[in-house]
Structure 1
Amino acid sequence: MEFTIGALSAMGAGCFTNPLEVVKTRLQLQGELRKRGQYTVHYKNFVHAAYVIAKTDGILALQKGLAPALAHQVLLNGVRLGGYQIAEERKLNLKENGEVSLARTVAIGAVMGVAGAYAGSPLYLVKTRLQAQSAECIAVGTQHKVTGTFDALCQVYKSGGIYGLWTGVTGSVPRLAVGSSCQLGTFYIAKEFLANNSYYQIEKGLLNTTVASILGGVVVAIFMGPLDVISTRLYNQAYDNHGRGLIYSGYFDCMKKIWKTEGFAGFYKGIVPCFMRIGPHTVLCFVFWDQLKQLQHNYFDSKRNLI
């Protein structure tokens, strides 16, 4: 049940935020390993990117990769949020006095983020490659020429075998460990503070969850933005038959090359759609999650009362 609640929450959010993910991916790949002024700027900013994609590839292109994106959310957040809910029900996130522990929440969030990263990595790989694929006149990054989710999985499997399906996971693990711990840590601490502070209390409920989610989205965007760029680059690059990247040999090589050619700003490419995607996604995900958990608790309470 915990897995189902976590998965449904994230899928509901993913339907609304996938177009922002498409724009973010394109901006993160634009000018890959090129200094400013040495590449064609197809996408000037977030709004322009959305307009160009819709005009050139069609309005439906803004929902590219939706199927693997939603399936990825099932595995990622089914494991991540479901695992956290199990820990929460066992009070593993609380101090001895019953208060929410920031250290324990961050630690549980990081562990569940890593588990979710491995569970959903093959679908995140497919999602990234589908979202990067475009008409040649506005193409950025490596173009993998895949026709859909199944075709992409088959191509990856043929070239790299079963291990090839987890190509790029080294970029996803740090991203989700940091993102999950920041998101869950900020969310729960903010919820407790908003409900219990002596200045302006917001009782636990929909408004409390929404405000805490917004704060969580801001923190995640700041800390996860650079890791998200690295993750996108590693997933989208081409690999040889031995699983070696043709652009980056690994995580730290990617980090070094981005710093050398694109500078600090390179790590924050696509930060606007990143926040605009993470902010609403966090809000929608946690609102759905809280409401579904409440429905679950109400259902089991009513069953107990009947007994």
Structure 2
Amino acid sequence: MRKVEGRLCEEFSPAYYGLCTVGGMLSAGTTHLAITPLDVLKVNMQVNPIKYNKMASGFSILWKEQGPSSLWRGWSGKLFGYGVQGGCRFGLYEYFKKLYSDVLKDHNRSTIFFLSSASAQVFADVALCPFEAVKVRVQTQPYFAKGLVDGFPKLYATEGLAGFYKGLFPLWGRNLPFSMIMFTTFEHSVDLIYHKVMQRRKEDCSRAQQLGVTCLAAYAAGAVGTVISNPADNIVSSLYNKKADNVMQAVKNIGLVNLFTRSLPVRITLVGPVVTLQWFFYDTIKVLCGLPSSGGLTRRLEEANLSA
């Protein structure tokens, strides 16, 4: 593998995957922390849609009944839980994409993107699930706990280890389609912008231009992924708040149409900017370390394989 001057580490090396993991943790944890008030409203709209039926009135009700601090309930779960998930998602995605590109050389790029993102997300959600279980209860049950420190032992005492993973399958149902669509849409959007819009190679663009392309592709990826994953997101909130005992009961209680529409506006408002900022921070860390921005990795992999 050729050494490139000015790079902190070489692509596809252990240090590279470590850097991607740290970058994913920092970008995901901080962005999810920043939108905690929107997440609190989203979860309450899903659990109690009659009371919290609109964004503006929902914020007003939370503020009046539970005080301004209620908008930041579950912040520790957002910071640490989604930080761990983001580290696994981005770091393992890079690893699996290299692995599958080497093994599945005759398959098209979309297959590699789908498999890589799905494989990474499986592990990412196993890491996230305990944090999510506590976070949702903290946000919707004011007297359950104040945060992770007292929430973890209380949940374990009342429901045991199974309580932390009650929502794992719905979480996979929400995040696997989202991740697969998000990463694939991002990759293809990056190629489309460079080839059809800018009509320049990534290597010929400045760092600012590369990060601009990252932001455009990331917003498109987040919007598409949100619509796909919304039904499972509603099911997760229902299960964690004991509104239903299983997935089928949750679907029946919520209703087929509501599965797709309930809390969708607030999720689009929430997820679009979050995904954009995550990719922006993540790629900023990469380019500051002398590495290329994300997207179009298949060509670099081919070069690496040829020079190996």
What is the TM-score with the length of structure 1 in the denominator?
0.79
- Whichever residue aligns with residue 123 of structure 1, its letter is F
Task: Give runs of aligned pairs for residues 119-268 of structure 1, distance below 5 A.
Answer: 119-134=127-142, 145-197=144-196, 199-201=197-199, 204=202, 205-237=210-242, 247-259=243-255, 263-268=256-261
Separation of aligned partners in 2, 1:191 and 1:225: 25
Q: Distance in 1 between matches of 2:147 and 2:23?
A: 27
Q: CA deviation at 1:28?
A: 0.7
User: What's the Cα RMSD here?
Assistant: 2.5
Q: Is the 8 A contact 1:9 1:289 kept in 2?
A: yes
Q: Output the amino acid matched with 1:232.
A: S
Tell me the alpha carbon deviations over residues 258-301 of structure 1, each in whole angstroms, 9 at most, x when there is no partner.
Answer: 22xxx4124421111111111011000111111112233459xx
1:288 is aligned to 2:284: no
- Secondary structure of the residue aligned to 1:13 is helix
Q: Is the 8 A contact 2:135 2:147 kept in 1?
A: no
CA distance in 2 between counterparts of 1:15 and 1:93 reads 36
For 1:222 and 1:229, how far apart are their aligned partners in 2? 12
Residue 155 of structure 1 aligns to a residue whose secondary structure is helix
Give the CA deviation at 1:148: 2.5
Shift of 1:225: 1.0
| Structure 2 unaligned blocks of 5 or more | 1-17, 203-209, 293-308
| Structure 2 counterpart of 1:74 | 83
Instruction: Measure, in 2, the Cα distance between the counterparts of 1:211 and 1:156.
Output: 40
Give the partner amino acid of 2:34. F
CA distance in 1, matches of 2:199, 2:173: 35
- Equivalent AA in structure 1 for residue 266 of structure 2: P
Deviation of 1:131 after TM superposition, in Å, equals: 1.3
1:269 aligns with 2:259: no
Q: In the alignment, what sits opposite 2:45?
A: 27
1:253 partner letter: Q
Q: Residues 172 and 65 (structure 1 numbering): CA distance in 2 closer, same or farther, change over 3 Å?
A: same
Report how far residue 192 of structure 1 moved. Answer: 1.0
How far apart are the structure 1 equivalents of 2:46 and 2:102? 35
Partner of 1:110: 118
Contact kept? 1:25, 1:132, Cα under 8 Å: yes
Against the structure 1 CA distance between its residues 182 and 202, is the aligned structure 2 distance closer, same or farther, given a 3 Å change threshold?
A: farther
Structure 2 counterpart of 1:10, one-letter code: A
Superposed displacement of residue 158, structure 1? 1.0
Q: Deviations over 1:48-68 (max 9, x none)?
A: 212222233222321210111
CA distance in 1, matches of 2:169, 2:96: 26
Task: Judging by fraction of residues, say which structure has more helix.
Answer: 2
CA distance in 1, matches of 2:149, 2:211: 39
Judged with a 3 Å threshold, the aligned counterparts in structure 2 of structure 1 residues 295 and 200 are, in CA distance, closer, same or farther, namely closer
CA distance in 2, matches of 1:160, 1:49: 30
In structure 2, what is the equivalent of residue 63 of structure 1? 72
CA distance in 2, matches of 1:49, 1:272: 13
Q: What secondary structure, in the 3-state scheme, does the structure 2 residue paired with 1:128 have? A: helix
**Number of equivalences:** 267
**Distance (Å, rounded) in 1 between the aligned partners of 2:43 and 2:126:** 20
TM-score normalised by structure 2 residue count:
0.79
Secondary structure of residue in 2 paired with 1:92 = helix
Q: Any gaps of 5 or more consecutive residues in structure 1?
A: 32-40, 135-143, 238-246, 300-307
Matches of 2:40 and 2:199, distance apart in 1: 38
Query: Do the aligned residues in 2 keep the contact of 1:100 with 1:188 (CA within 8 Å)?
Result: no
The verdict on how the C-alpha distance between 1:103 and 1:168 changes in structure 2, with shifts beyond 3 A counting, is: same
